[in-house]
């Protein structure tokens, strides 16, 4: 156990870490700050300040998916730069490799994993054909923001302006991108 002496007090770092872990665990499981304060005997305002101290970003959890994209790397860069939580972008060649190289069972399992993970997001930006956007809306509902880059079937890579993606992400995050 590691201790720190402050004046005549002996403080356990481990006890502090355990308390913080418990507070965060209770908060992420859905307890309000006041409920956590009552359970831990810690003032609610301290819990609020603790969350503010550790806050990295506010706002919606955003996913971006899209294909077939000519400038995939530029768009991935935008997603990284502006704090997008999940990014799956493919060129036309990559999307065909995705379904041609693997067995049907493997493709189905990968698609189910992707669908399951996308359900965790507040906003899913779908960049693709009209048909793919309708499919995404059917699967995920109102969380989908469709960016149509052509009518289905799209048979070649399409350029999508990265600045449009920046503007869209900014509008989702309330005008600020982090």
Domain ranges of the chain: 3-54, 62-172
3-class SS of residue 47? helix
Q: Which CATH number fits domain 62-172: 3.30.70, 1.10.357, 3.30.1490, 3.40.50?
A: 3.40.50
Token pair for 172: 């989702």
Q: How many CB atoms lie within 10 A of CB 166?
A: 16
Mean pLDDT taken over the chain? 92
Residue 144 burial (C-beta neighbours within 10 Å; 0-12, 13-18, 19+):
buried
Which of 9-13, 93-97, 124-128, 172-176 is predicted with the least confidence, judged by mean pLDDT? 172-176
Give the 3-state secondary structure percentages of the chain, helix then strand then coil, rounded to 5.
Answer: 55, 20, 30
DSSP 83-151: T-SEEEE--HHHHHHHHHSS-HHHHHHHHHHHHHHHTT-SEEEEEEEHHHHHHHHHHHGGGEEEEEEES
State the DSSP code for 154. Answer: P
Mean pLDDT of 156-167: 98
Q: What percent of the chain has pLDDT over 90?
A: 82
Kindly report whether the global pTM for this prediction surpasses the value 0.85: no
Residue 51, pLDDT score: 86
Residue 52, pLDDT score: 84
Residue 72, pLDDT score: 98
Dump pLDDT digits (tens) for 24-75: 999 988 899 999 999 999 999 999 999 888 765 567 899 999 999 999 999 9
In the chain, DSSP finds a helix count (H) and a strand count (E) of 8, 6
Residue 55, pLDDT score: 67
Residue 73, pLDDT score: 98
Residue 152, pLDDT score: 96
Q: How confident is the model at residue 141 (pLDDT cuts 50, 70, 90)?
A: very high
* pLDDT exceeds 70 at position 149: yes
Residue 58, pLDDT score: 63
Token pair for 69: 């994209």
**Residue predicted with more confidence, 14 or 58:** 14
């Amino acid at each position: 156990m590691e201790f720190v002496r402050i004046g005549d007090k002996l403080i356990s770092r481990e006890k502090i870490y355990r308390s913080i872990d418990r507070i965060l665990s209770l908060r992420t499981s859905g307890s309000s700050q006041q409920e956590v304060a009552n359970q831990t005997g810690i003032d609610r305002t301290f819990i609020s300040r603790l969350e503010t101290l550790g806050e990295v970003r506010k706002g919606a959890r955003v996913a971006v998916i899209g294909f077939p994209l000519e400038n995939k790397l530029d768009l991935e860069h935008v997603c990284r730069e502006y704090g997008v939580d999940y990014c799956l972008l493919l060129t036309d060649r990559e999307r065909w490799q995705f379904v041609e190289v693997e067995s049907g069972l493997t493709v189905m399992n990968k698609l189910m994993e992707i669908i399951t993970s996308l359900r965790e997001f507040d906003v899913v930006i779908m960049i693709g054909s009209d048909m793919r956007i309708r499919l995404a809306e059917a699967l995920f509902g109102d969380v989908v923001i469709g960016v149509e880059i052509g009518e289905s079937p799209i048979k070649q890579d399409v350029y999508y302006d990265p600045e449009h993606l920046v503007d869209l992400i900014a509008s989702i995050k309330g005008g600020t991108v982090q």
